[in-house]
Amino acid sequence: MTYCLGILLPSGLILASDSRSSAGVDQIAVVKKLALFEVPGERVIAILSAGNLATTQAVITMIRQYTRHKQDSAAGGENRDILAARTMFDVAQIVGGVLREVLRLNRSFVEPYGDPNGSFIVAGQIAGEPHRLFQVYSAGNFVEASGRTQFLQLGETKYGKPILDRALQEASGLDEAAKLALLSFDATVRSNLSVAPPIDLLRYEADSFSTKHLAKYDSHHPYWADLRQRYSDGLSALVASLPAPDFPA
């Protein structure tokens, strides 16, 4: 499994992914699920992946190749170079299209062994439009986040949802959302073996067109360890401070 999270805020984006890839309990690996594409000062695009690793790696690799070999990227008349796309909507459409092609080529060969599907969070900003956040389904179609649907998740989504439902506000700042994202990952990592650090976290400030606020938290990272400890201690103290339920004597 996997856990990926994208949060849309007025002031920017928070994007995070775990690093565990598993095919059964005796075949686990550490993989990076956050791919970055950047033209400094002009565009930042992040793609987070979940699902069949061969499928998602093929999609990301093809998208990366299309940005380098412009002539290969024109498929049936559409340009698949996300560094040339005019809008983030067009980027999401390219990701969905490449995913459809990879699945068209591989699905029938892979299905006897397992699920070939993959899905993506596609987020970022292109100069001339606001920062945007999309979720691309395995069918290649996609939805966009808004002030009412502020976060999108992939993979093992349930454990980390309550803290976001409870504490994330439309007007939350980037730092607050980054903390909530890490706590959402901590909840998931504690409760589910198929999601594991290092956690890649991108804090994207609107109109910065920069990926400099990128961090990697492994289990021993002092900030991650401190955050987990403070949160658990604080939560225990909070629960202890709540009144006990009242029953007939």
Q: Which residues bind a copy of itself (CB under 8 A)?
A: 158-163, 165-167, 175-176, 178-180, 182-183, 187-188, 190-191, 201, 203, 212-215, 223, 226-227, 230-232, 234-236, 238-248
State which residue, 108 or 210, has the beta carbon closest to a copy of itself: 210
Rounded to a whole number of angstroms, the minimum distance from the CB of residue 2 to a copy of itself is: 15
Rounded to a whole number of angstroms, the minimum distance from the CB of residue 169 to a copy of itself is: 9
Spatial separation of the C-alpha atoms in residues 230 and 163, rounded to whole Å: 16
State which residue, 83 or 174, has the beta carbon closest to a copy of itself: 174
Spatial separation of the C-alpha atoms in residues 202 and 12, rounded to whole Å: 10
R_g (Cα) of the chain, nearest Å:
19
Rounded to a whole number of angstroms, the minimum distance from the CB of residue 78 to a copy of itself is: 36
Q: Which residue has the tokens 């998208």?
A: 63
Which segments of 69-160 does DSSP mark as H helices, in order?
Answer: 88-110
Q: Which residue has the tokens 């201690």?
A: 233
State which residue, 98 or 201, has the beta carbon closest to a copy of itself: 201
Q: 173 with 9: CB under 8 angstroms?
A: yes
Nearest to 223 by CA among 199, 189, 191: 199
State which residue, 50 or 63, has the beta carbon closest to a copy of itself: 50
Rounded to a whole number of angstroms, the minimum distance from the CB of residue 115 to a copy of itself is: 19
Rounded to a whole number of angstroms, the minimum distance from the CB of residue 30 to a copy of itself is: 21
Rounded to a whole number of angstroms, the minimum distance from the CB of residue 186 to a copy of itself is: 8
Start-to-end Cα distance in the chain? 47
Spatial separation of the C-alpha atoms in residues 31 and 180, rounded to whole Å: 23
State which residue, 104 or 230, has the beta carbon closest to a copy of itself: 230
State which residue, 92 or 195, has the beta carbon closest to a copy of itself: 195
Rounded to 5°, angle at Cα 140 from 138 and 146: 95
Spatial separation of the C-alpha atoms in residues 100 and 146, rounded to whole Å: 25
